[in-house]
Structure 1
Amino acid sequence: MKSRFKYLIASTLIISLAFGFQNTLGQTLKKYEINAEVAPVKIYSDHLKMGGSNPKGETILVNNYFLSKSGNPFIPITGEFHFSRYPNQYWEESIQKMKAGGINIIATYVFWNIHEEHEGKFRWDGDRDLKKFIALCAKNDMYVFVRVGPFCHGEIRNGGLPDWLLGRPLMIRSNDPAYLSYVEKLYDEIGTQLKGTYFKDGGSVIGIQLENEYQHSAAPWGLTYAGQPHDWTAAESDLSLTQAGVGVSETKNPYADLGNDHMKILKSLALKAGMDVPLYTATGWGNAAIVTNESIPVTAAYAYPFWTAHKDISPFFLYKDMHCDPDYAPVRYQPEDYPAFPAELGTGIMTVYSRRPIVEQKSFDAMMNRCLGSGANGLGYYMYHSGSTPRGDRYYFSDEAYGLPKISYDFQAPIGEFGQVREGFQRLKLINRFAQEFGDLLAPMTTVLPENAPILKPENVTDLRYAVRIKDNSGFLFVNNFQDDLKTTDKPDIQIAIKTGGDVVTIPEASGFTMKEGENVIFPFHLAINGADLIYATAQLYTKSDDGKMPYYVFVSQDGSNAEFSFAKSNGLSIKKSPGISLDQNEKRILVKCSKGTSEFTANVKGRQTKILVIEKSLALQSYLVTIKGQKSLMFSDAVILQENDMISALSAGRNAFTIHVYPKFLGKLNAENAAVLASVNNSLMSEFNISVPEFKLEPTVRQIGERKTVVTLPPSLNGLNDLFLNIDYTGDTGMGFLDGELVTDEFWKGTLWQIGLKKFYPNAASKEMVFYFRPVNEGASYLDDISPKDRPDFSKLKQVLNIRKISFTPEYKVNLQFE
């Protein structure tokens, strides 16, 4: 493992930041150089007993470096969504949101205690209907990974183990035959639900995760006493090495062989229950057990953990070679034998009563950039779509012993507890589309690092962080300028020279580019575009279309920057410029310089034309890929754009009027259900449609019962809205919401707006009162260090603070669109 890592490091060169030269504008360029003349990674697969085909002859295979689909390298983009934590009547809308965000695999837990709360009585109805959920994923062309446990964690009571299991004469999470007999019954039940849904049957289930963090972590038993230390849900032989949450585990487990055997037994039970899939995974971080050569050991990275005593600055924004050196190493397996497949990248985090980390949404795409640049050939987001933990017949299923909210599982995720689409969703979309569209190029590429990579510390926010992935002189340059819990510095006038086997690519060739604080980029070099050799671009690849008469590529530039594209000169290449484009040619290349904002030019290679669209990141964040009349198109809007077959829907929160732009230009007619449409006639690159619906206006009726209790009267109906969000702007300790005296929603205050989607409660909630009970925050509360300084209460006059500033509604409109 270390020999290859040292070879890559030894083959690189970085020139000191102290060295620079004056460019023609009098600016001092900061020059970096990296030698990417490295041997390609060795690819082999005979040792792995995985893979499969479906009735159409399509295959999913895995080697030691990447996955392939029907012979083509494939980067899975996995989003975690727990079906049992969300109302089943809205599952399909959520699946469509995930697809719109660039997810191609949905991962979901099957929590044992939710399905068998009472021993011997399994429930698969309502929000527990696994079969229905899988069918909806298949309907929307989404693959599924099912995480079958028996232990899941997922911030569920006992980590998903039923309470009654504690009262049975057996040793949990062990090879005890009595325990395994219960697991076999669970797997048989899950197998019955999954029958006919597997990839081999033509279905969407391509993967099974066995257990979770086995011989690494556990959850506390929910049956406990106040003040009692946590009693972990682990076999007694593993208790001394069991830790809270995800972390590094340096100590070798003397019972590791038993753990390896246990994982093999679980796989045999899964196969016996019919769970025959191309891919099996096991959480392999921190010396956890896997099924050697029969499961992919997936990795994790959480930059804002709630299980640590205080904030810590993570290493997860520094480039490394993850194929040789996984996060949370040491590990129990040989890393070079498996692809680097992070399945739990912390896109958000939960809050517990004593710790309330605030996750910056910029961290999401920054971490994914770092992982891809570090050799990851899969991305998995935990959580991607959050929800609400259900209540059982006897107790809340939430992990109350760990100090979590009784219901809320918002996780600050890209898609919130009530389906809210957040900044992180938009940011990840750019990474996801890049990995989907160009994963066949990226996956086989070798990681190359600058020589200071092994000594660069997370606290160092001044040195440039970058890496290269390369194969056959073509590749991608990755740069990241984000660090959790620290503010990095703007880095202007950067120039990076990449030495390949054929030449030296200098990005950019004469001037420099700027990395803004908190941002990240991926620049291509020697990219083949329909016969043209793009030497480099100072814009990030986003997507492409090869269908229709005019193929196009879309690149994303940093806001306020002038992107440039250098094409190798050839006899058959010409560039057709448009307004805002300038050309500079010499005997070796054609340099295309784009003005700020949106621009387009055409590359013509011997009569074959390809349009290049360049958009700024702020616009790209509003983009959605759709199909209009068989044409792969981009739509840009403040609204969330979803598609099902030919029907496109727009969801607009808080705005009854919004604009949609379409690229390439659509010259037909747009009809909108129950909405007015005004098409704008202009000479821009895109079609423009202005859409409006009648405005929904409603001020909440609020009354106060003492200092801590507030009552909100809910409207008689949602009046055709897609949802109605109740917003509570307050400072306090905790908030709890009741309907008909039953707790239905709760929150731990952390300085952010509490938003509750009401549609899940209708029609039963019509005209009813929702009663809120708040508790004040106390001076010296353990979580105050997590709260932003601007949001911390002033305790100079009072030692307890409760302030309910404003309660309001935000309507979410839905408009169905039809292009004719």
Structure 2
Amino acid sequence: MFLRTEATAQHVYEIDAAVPEVNIYSHHLKLGGSSAAGSSITVNNYYISVDGKPMVPVTGEFHFTRYPRMYWEESIEKMKAGGINVIATYVFWNLHEEKEGVFAWEGDKDLRYFMELCKKHNIYAIVRVGPFCHGEIRSGGLPDWLLGSPLNIRSDDSLYLSYVERLYNQIGMQLQGLYYKNDGPVIGIQIENEYQHSAAPWGLTYPGQPMDMTAAERDLSVTQEGVGISDVKNSHAGSGNGHMKKLKLLAIKAGMDVPLYTATGWGNAAIIPNESLPVTAAYAYPFWTPKRDYSPFFLYKNMHRKPDYAPVRYHPEDYPAFAAELGSGIMSVYTRRPIAVHQSMDAMINRCLGSGANGIGYYMYHGGSTPRGERSFMSDEAYGLPKISYDFQAPIGEYGQVREGFHRLKLLHFFLRDFGHKLAPMTTALPANAANLRPDNITDLRYAVRIKENSGFLFLNNFQDDTAMQHQKQIQVRIKTHTGEVRIPETGGFDLPEGENAIFPFGMEMEGGIPLNYATAQLLAQCGDAALPRYVFFTPEGVKAEFSFAGNVKVSGLYGSTAVRTAKRTLVNCTDTVSVFTVATGGRKVEVLVVTKQLALKAYTVTLQQKRYLFFSDAVILQGPAGFRLLNNSNPVFDLAVYPRINTVPQVTNGSIAVTKSITPFAAYRIALPYWSFPVHARKVSEKKRVVQLPDSLPAQVNDVLLKVDYTGDTGMGFVNGELVADEFYKGLPWETGLRKFVAAGAREMVLYFRPMQPNATYLLDLQPYPQYIPAFGNAKSYLTVNGITLVPQYATRIKF
């Protein structure tokens, strides 16, 4: 409901959150398990628990076979730094058994070593064992020799199942001793992928030929390209679920005994009823649709009742809503090149959490490069994907580049790690108009509540793909609970700019029983220790932080903030870019730190001297068993701030470190590394071809060098010693290639080959929102220009406290 109060220029929104709590049960589910050390994972119909404590898993997809083995550990540390606590990875059958009967598990295909690194860094893993994977790999991961075998794929054909059993036995040997029951990282196995929903085209095809899909012949009539809604009646649904059960039994027989078995459950895909966790998906920028359109994935709903891409084959309320394949980026195909706006990523997660999701996951979270096979390129050439690049515009790119989406998403991941146990049992409540909102409605406020008893979170989203939302001004939200009304804020209102999203707590009991009525600031993390717990909040763009504490509390130590007390509440208003204050009651106290979103985006949570701290820096901060490693692009001089303040000066392995003046709550340092420069030598061979000289080696303070090519054209290709090693489809952004793996292999130059853009190119549809990316052809029949080639070093140092 909406009304305007002219006297205060407010826009007042109401929501009835006095709703029945969700009915939680688990007797029907054959999921869960225990570790040798006595830990446990349990699943009910609403959330997952670890050792009896609810948690919201945060899963990031990373394909180990698409990244060099020598850098896996760094990538795992990056994912942990971004708040990921589960890594999902495909085991592509055709990469491991390209030739029938000959398996390869060495080098960049060493599944066991990758899982051992996950164990070393204390991060869970879900292994997606196929046999069909998709993943934009050739034939969806099915080896070419299967097409020439006398069998029916993805069916109960006995010969096919014998090959699957052989594959599973191989995977089982790689994972032996690394399962959760062995105190290992592998908590989950995904069986098949989008079974009886989607498929990939066979790689053995002819140009112009209709797609020949990798599905059982009986399922071709219900098989579609990509993720979508499927209303087709499937007369073989029962057989499909039965096939999935057979695959699970083969996996268990091969040793894959885990607490969680997952299945891609969207669009009427098959699952194993009561024995697999059906996960959902959401892609705002799909390449498999004919045009750009507004997606519904930024509108709140009850995902526990109606999952995305419904109808589904299962009863949704019997399972947690686990949005495990959220499109944090997207691939390009030659004919379609959607640009995934990184601002969409945290907006989508906000929407999913506000809609009742109790698990989130990303496809992809970390990009990579598809390896070449012995007989063919292994990318999905039939769909027209790049032959090498699998960058996916992901939060972590093809060469490990940390992008805007990484920083946006980690704000939510830190929140889920520290407060997910509060959120998970909460029920979704929606405003009266939620069911009637459509994606093209850019004027109405989008909001929802998660609540348990009288405590909860208010979710707000003002982002929509492929359009611009209206700036929301002077908002007040009135939440009806079982015991009364909560007004956020108490008086006046707050703004929510176009593209922004927010999560505000209300009715929250902080450590020591301190009652927070509400805050117009978003929870980021908790740190400190039992003696003085510290809560860290940030203010979304355009929002002023206000805190209302109930009862007889004492506020002190005000920095960058003011407090007003009445008989019923104490109101704290934050007036600076950094604010700190202490709240106490009954002999217990907490400290509250409030920072801007701009500063929060530089935050990392770390453990130092057995206590939780926050580091703030432009550098990427990685924490591993050997301590801290800092990576900073371009600039060898950068700052580090530490909260709570510490009184030590750390040491660095490269360069120097000095204490700098800081604002009150932080210890601050400046790190300076030796400057490194390598002149760009780019020789022009022709209009389409350049030769770039590579460094002989990289100095100790340089972790990698990005080759950045600013060009306007159709495609770019990079060759080393005559072999295609990198490629890119133009989308208006500079083409980036990490050089360290080529330098380490002894490469001395890279040949760049470009093809010109045509004025009738179909992908220009995707560039229309960015007219600066589309050249003026005039009377020319094609267009190509190479504007500049630069080398950008990534500086690195280790720091020890």
**TM-score normalised per structure 1:** 0.96
Deviations 1:760-789 (A, max 9, x none): 1123334x2210110000011000011121
Distance in 2 (CA, whole Å) between partners of 1:804 and 1:294 is 55
Alignment of 1:292-691 (within 5 A): 292-530=273-511, 531-545=513-527, 547=529, 549-559=531-541, 561-570=543-552, 573-645=553-625, 647-682=627-662, 684-691=664-671
* Match in the other structure for 1:22: 7
CA deviation after TM superposition for structure 1 residue 482, in Å: 0.3
| Residue aligned with 2:168, SS | helix
CA deviation after TM superposition for structure 1 residue 213, in Å: 0.2
Is the CA contact (8 Å cut-off) linking 1:714 and 1:765 kept in structure 2? Answer: no
Relative to structure 1, the CA distance from residue 646 to residue 715 in structure 2 (aligned partners, 3 Å threshold; closer, same or farther) is closer
Is the CA contact (8 Å cut-off) linking 2:497 and 2:542 kept in structure 1? Answer: no
Distance in 2 (CA, whole Å) between partners of 1:609 and 1:308 is 54
Is the CA contact (8 Å cut-off) linking 1:723 and 1:813 kept in structure 2? Answer: yes
CA deviation after TM superposition for structure 1 residue 560, in Å: 5.0
Alignment of 1:707-786 (within 5 A): 707-720=687-700, 721-766=702-747, 768-786=748-766
CA deviation after TM superposition for structure 1 residue 715, in Å: 1.4
Alignment of 1:198-217 (within 5 A): 198-217=179-198
Q: Is 1:139 equivalent to 2:129 in the alignment?
A: no
Is the CA contact (8 Å cut-off) linking 2:495 and 2:542 kept in structure 1? Answer: no
| Residue aligned with 1:722, SS | strand
Q: Is 1:60 equivalent to 2:68 in the alignment?
A: no
CA deviation after TM superposition for structure 1 residue 226, in Å: 1.1
Query: Root-mean-square deviation (CA), in Å?
Result: 0.9
Aligned residue pairs, count: 797
* Match in the other structure for 1:7: none
Distance in 2 (CA, whole Å) between partners of 1:630 and 1:343 is 32
* Match in the other structure for 2:12: 31
Relative to structure 1, the CA distance from residue 29 to residue 803 in structure 2 (aligned partners, 3 Å threshold; closer, same or farther) is same
CA deviation after TM superposition for structure 1 residue 684, in Å: 2.0
Q: Is 1:50 equivalent to 2:35 in the alignment?
A: no
Distance in 2 (CA, whole Å) between partners of 1:465 and 1:630 is 41
Is the CA contact (8 Å cut-off) linking 1:560 and 1:597 kept in structure 2? Answer: no
CA deviation after TM superposition for structure 1 residue 559, in Å: 3.5
CA deviation after TM superposition for structure 1 residue 609, in Å: 1.8
Deviations 1:88-124 (A, max 9, x none): 0000000000000000000000000000000000000
* Match in the other structure for 1:170: 151
Is the CA contact (8 Å cut-off) linking 1:560 and 1:596 kept in structure 2? Answer: no
CA deviation after TM superposition for structure 1 residue 156, in Å: 0.2
CA deviation after TM superposition for structure 1 residue 421, in Å: 0.1
Is the CA contact (8 Å cut-off) linking 1:562 and 1:596 kept in structure 2? Answer: no
| Residue aligned with 2:751, SS | strand
Q: Is 1:805 equivalent to 2:787 in the alignment?
A: yes
Equivalent AA in structure 1 for residue 279 of structure 2: V
Distance in 1 (CA, whole Å) between partners of 2:72 and 2:256 is 24
Is the CA contact (8 Å cut-off) linking 1:542 and 1:554 kept in structure 2? Answer: yes
| Residue aligned with 1:287, SS | coil
Distance in 1 (CA, whole Å) between partners of 2:161 and 2:134 is 18
| Residue aligned with 1:286, SS | coil
Point out where structure 2 has 5 or more consecutive residues left out of the alignment: none
CA deviation after TM superposition for structure 1 residue 682, in Å: 4.4
Is the CA contact (8 Å cut-off) linking 2:649 and 2:658 kept in structure 1? Answer: no
Is the CA contact (8 Å cut-off) linking 1:548 and 1:631 kept in structure 2? Answer: no
Equivalent AA in structure 2 for residue 614 of structure 1: V
Deviations 1:352-390 (A, max 9, x none): 000000010000000000000000000010000010000
Equivalent AA in structure 1 for residue 326 of structure 2: L
Q: Larger deviation: 695-704 or 806-815?
A: 695-704
Is the CA contact (8 Å cut-off) linking 2:528 and 2:613 kept in structure 1? Answer: no
* Match in the other structure for 1:160: 141
Distance in 2 (CA, whole Å) between partners of 1:438 and 1:517 is 27
* Match in the other structure for 1:238: 219
Equivalent AA in structure 2 for residue 625 of structure 1: T
Alignment of 1:93-108 (within 5 A): 93-108=74-89
CA deviation after TM superposition for structure 1 residue 694, in Å: 1.0
Deviations 1:284-332 (A, max 9, x none): 0000000000001100000000000111110000000000000000000
Distance in 2 (CA, whole Å) between partners of 1:434 and 1:440 is 10
Is the CA contact (8 Å cut-off) linking 2:497 and 2:541 kept in structure 1? Answer: no
| Residue aligned with 1:806, SS | strand
Equivalent AA in structure 1 for residue 519 of structure 2: A
Deviations 1:37-64 (A, max 9, x none): 1110000000000110011211001000
Distance in 2 (CA, whole Å) between partners of 1:743 and 1:544 is 48
Distance in 1 (CA, whole Å) between partners of 2:542 and 2:575 is 9
Is the CA contact (8 Å cut-off) linking 1:736 and 1:774 kept in structure 2? Answer: yes
Is the CA contact (8 Å cut-off) linking 1:561 and 1:596 kept in structure 2? Answer: no
Distance in 1 (CA, whole Å) between partners of 2:166 and 2:60 is 28
* Match in the other structure for 2:255: 274
| Residue aligned with 2:115, SS | helix
Is the CA contact (8 Å cut-off) linking 1:650 and 1:817 kept in structure 2? Answer: yes
**TM-score normalised per structure 2:** 0.99
Equivalent AA in structure 2 for residue 675 of structure 1: G
| Residue aligned with 1:352, SS | coil
Distance in 2 (CA, whole Å) between partners of 1:649 and 1:528 is 36
Equivalent AA in structure 2 for residue 176 of structure 1: D
| Residue aligned with 1:778, SS | coil
Distance in 2 (CA, whole Å) between partners of 1:540 and 1:698 is 43
CA deviation after TM superposition for structure 1 residue 436, in Å: 1.2
* Match in the other structure for 1:256: 237
Is the CA contact (8 Å cut-off) linking 2:351 and 2:459 kept in structure 1? Answer: yes
Distance in 2 (CA, whole Å) between partners of 1:355 and 1:178 is 38
Distance in 2 (CA, whole Å) between partners of 1:691 and 1:125 is 39
* Match in the other structure for 2:22: 41
Is the CA contact (8 Å cut-off) linking 1:563 and 1:596 kept in structure 2? Answer: no
Is the CA contact (8 Å cut-off) linking 2:496 and 2:542 kept in structure 1? Answer: no
